[in-house]
Copies of this chain bind each other. A is one copy, B any other.
Amino acid sequence: MKVLQLGVGAIGTVVARHLAGHRAVESLTLGDMDTTRADRLARELKGRVSVERADAADPQALARVIKGHGLVVSAVLPKYNEAIMKATLAAGADLLDLSAGGDDQLAHDAEWKKAGRTALHGMGEDPGISNVFARWAADRLDVVEAIRVRDGEYSSSEEFPLACLFSTETFIEEAVSPATLFENGQWKTIPAFSNREVYPFPEPVGPQVIYNMSHEEVDTLPRYIGKGVRFVDFKLAVPDDMQKYLVLLDRIGMTRRDTVRVRGGEVTPLSVLAAVLPQPADLGGRIQGAAIILVEVDGTKGGRKVRHVLYAPMTHDEAFRRMQVTATAFLTGTGAAAGAIALITGKVKTRGVIPPESLEADPILAILEELGVTTHRTENAL
């Protein structure tokens, strides 16, 4: 199959390294607004790789670029999701994107079903691997009671007192905005930095302070996992120092998403903050720490209460050795690549717009393993 990948940031680089030269990928086209990085990457990759200028904001021009490709992998900012969905459907290809773009992409399900096409939506590390972990455990339970998603990524660095491991603006907005959880069968909104706890992640991560966040899994798992699930939450590691900094930056107004007047011009404070902080793509090899995605699923099987725990850890050092990126970029890009390979190799039979928990879990875990991400699983009586 011919694959078009949009965006070659840190995550896009990981996706492209996995897809280029893969036995099921006939050719890989790298599309970006600015083709400089795509050209450089294309020269390094094996297999048939070409570069095209592509504007994710222009569905008509984009549909022309897509024509002839069987799959579009979108590794650009999620705000372009809607435009890319439209162009991909028009061009008659399948689609994979990595996270939610504000609108509800899943609402386009009927349209895509009718066209006999699949859009796998929100397939990275989390959402992505996390949803597949939840599906794997749910398939082994009669009743699902609770799903707890824990992202334990952390970093330390003398050089960067405040380093965000993925899109700086997205991370900060996520962290300082109200969080959501699904409790007693209902969605709830709670204040930012709610329900602080120290979670004992397995090595090489260890104990991390985590907080509830608003995240895709909280939105989709209650709707797609079924089996009576009554509780879903997502918690992210935010070290105490970083939390204090973010609270301060938020309180003084530096996380504002509206514009302020500065010397006759207008500017968004959050975008200026993101511009002075290190770019996530530049952090590879310059920070210590690790990433981990872990999912706990509680439920009953044959009348017994059990807990499944699945997790995939990686140190930033290891990710840098493998692909010159952080572990966060590695896990996110590898999650997307696993989804893409499942689509390319015909392992996804469901048509329509689907979240990753709609995938059959075992084939995805096998592909992840092949791509270098090992899943650890435990099952214990509760």
Determine if A245 is an interface residue (Cβ-Cβ < 8 Å): yes
Are the CB atoms of A276 and B260 closer together than 8 Å?
Answer: yes
Contacts of A253 in B (CB 8 A): 276-277
C-alpha gap A380/B261 in the complex (Å): 53
C-alpha gap A267/B273 in the complex (Å): 11
CB-nearest residue of chain B relative to A254?
Answer: B276
Are the CB atoms of A161 and B272 closer together than 8 Å?
Answer: no
Q: How far is the CB of A221 from chain B (nearest CB, A)?
A: 35
CB-nearest residue of chain B relative to A255?
Answer: B276
Are the CB atoms of B262 and A271 closer together than 8 Å?
Answer: yes
Q: How far is the CB of A253 from chain B (nearest CB, A)?
A: 4
Contacts of A273 in B (CB 8 A): 252, 254
B248, B267, B272: the one contacting A245 at CB < 8 Å is: B248
Are the CB atoms of A254 and B251 closer together than 8 Å?
Answer: no
Determine if A92 is an interface residue (Cβ-Cβ < 8 Å): no
Are the CB atoms of B256 and A276 closer together than 8 Å?
Answer: yes
Interface size on A, residues (CB 8 A): 23
Are the CB atoms of B248 and A161 closer together than 8 Å?
Answer: yes
- Where chain A touches its partner, the secondary structure class is mixed
Are the CB atoms of A262 and B267 closer together than 8 Å?
Answer: yes
A275-B251 contact in complex given A265-B267, A267-B265, A267-B267, C-beta closer than 8 Å: no
Contacts of A245 in B (CB 8 A): 248, 252
Contacts of A267 in B (CB 8 A): 262, 265, 267, 272
Contacts of A269 in B (CB 8 A): 272, 275-276
Determine if A225 is an interface residue (Cβ-Cβ < 8 Å): no
C-alpha gap A275/B264 in the complex (Å): 12
User: Which residues 309-358 in A have Cβ within 8 Å of B in the complex?
Assistant: none
Contacts of A252 in B (CB 8 A): 161-162, 245, 273, 276-277
Determine if A263 is an interface residue (Cβ-Cβ < 8 Å): yes
C-alpha gap A267/B248 in the complex (Å): 22
Are the CB atoms of A272 and B277 closer together than 8 Å?
Answer: no
B248, B251, B256, B271: the one contacting A248 at CB < 8 Å is: B248
Q: Mark A254-291, 1 if CB is under 8 A from B, else 0.
A: 10100011110101110111011100000000000000
C-alpha gap A52/B59 in the complex (Å): 55
Q: How far is the CB of A95 from chain B (nearest CB, A)?
A: 27
User: Among A251, A262, A265, A271, which residue has the most Cβ atoms of chain B within 10 A?
Assistant: A262
Q: How far is the CB of A77 from chain B (nearest CB, A)?
A: 12
Q: How far is the CB of A56 from chain B (nearest CB, A)?
A: 16
Contacts of A162 in B (CB 8 A): 248, 251-252
Q: How far is the CB of A151 from chain B (nearest CB, A)?
A: 23
Contacts of A275 in B (CB 8 A): 260-262, 269
Contacts of A256 in B (CB 8 A): 276
Q: Mark A240-253, 1 if CB is under 8 A from B, else 0.
A: 00000100100111
Contacts of A276 in B (CB 8 A): 252-254, 256, 260, 269
CB-nearest residue of chain B relative to A247?
Answer: B161
C-alpha gap A238/B253 in the complex (Å): 21
Between A and B, 6 residue pairs with Cβ closer than 8 Å are A256-B276, A260-B272, A260-B276, A262-B267, A262-B268, A269-B272
By Cβ-Cβ distance, the 4 closest A-B pairs, closest first, are A253-B276, A161-B251, A272-B272, A260-B275
